Amino acid sequence: MITNQLDENRIRQRISDIRNRIEIAAKKAGRSADQINLMAVTKNVLPEYVNIAIGEGVRLLGENRAQELISKHDFYNLDGVDIHFIGHLQRNKVKKIIDKVSMIESVDSEHLAEEISRCCLKIGRKMPILLEVNVGNEKTKSGFAVDEIFEAARIVSKMPGVEIKGLMAIPPKENVLHHFKKIWDIYIDISLKNIDNISMDFLSMGMSADFEQAIAYGANIVRIGGLIFKDM
């Protein structure tokens, strides 16, 4: 257990500061802060610190690694809390995490979507997913290319064990506003197609360095780790 009150107070203050920034960014964009989901990204963060964030009302956690999620899951105070998987997910790890998450945001290929669908059908559930878009076509990042995403959405929408709920992206740091707008345009285009088994409810983009700009371009999930847990 944590006994350092300074660390606890620091996390609480950081969350308060982030919420204030979300409120200001949302207001500037003509939106309500209630529309924005603050995700605490917990990569390499001890469960004790995560539970402080939960105690401050954070109701959405983002896990990057399957093995880390498995090792920490039972130590979280998860009453009323959702966990989204946001990292690169290997197909052979799907069955190990599908009972521990409420959404997989980082679906970056049709093969992965097929495996999620197959594993979910085995346990009688349907997994909400986001399609990850490699909006900058970067070789070092996973995700569907911009020119592939529309056809991929049609194909994945036919898989019975998943339900497409929106898009996720990690844009390049350079010219980030251009890429945020491109993702927003794709998000709207897919929404307007009214494809069965697709409900574009979530646009997950923006992290510690750029979440305010992401909110201006329609993000309703912002994934923040360092601003909450740095040096913890």
Backbone angles phi, psi at 222, to 5 degrees: -115, 130
Q: Residue 225 maps to which CATH number? A: 3.20.20.10
pLDDT in tens, 37-79: 999 999 999 999 999 999 999 999 999 999 999 999 999 999 9
For residue 15, count other CB atoms closer than 10 A to its CB. Answer: 21
- Cα 219 → chain centroid: 11
Instruction: Check if the beta carbon of residue 206 is closer than 8 Å to that of residue 214.
Output: yes
pLDDT at 232: 80
pLDDT at 3: 46
pTM of the model: 0.95
Percentage of residues in the chain having pLDDT higher than 90? 92
Instruction: Count how many domains the chain has.
Output: 1
pLDDT in tens, 147-188: 999 999 999 999 999 999 999 999 998 999 999 999 999 999
Question: What's the CA gap between 171 and 139, in Å, rounded?
Answer: 12
Instruction: Check if the beta carbon of residue 203 is closer than 8 Å to that of residue 181.
Output: no
Question: What's the CA gap between 106 and 121, in Å, rounded?
Answer: 19
Residue 34 domain boundaries: 5-229
pLDDT at 5: 79
pLDDT surpassing 80 at residue 6: no
Distance, first Cα to last Cα, the chain: 13
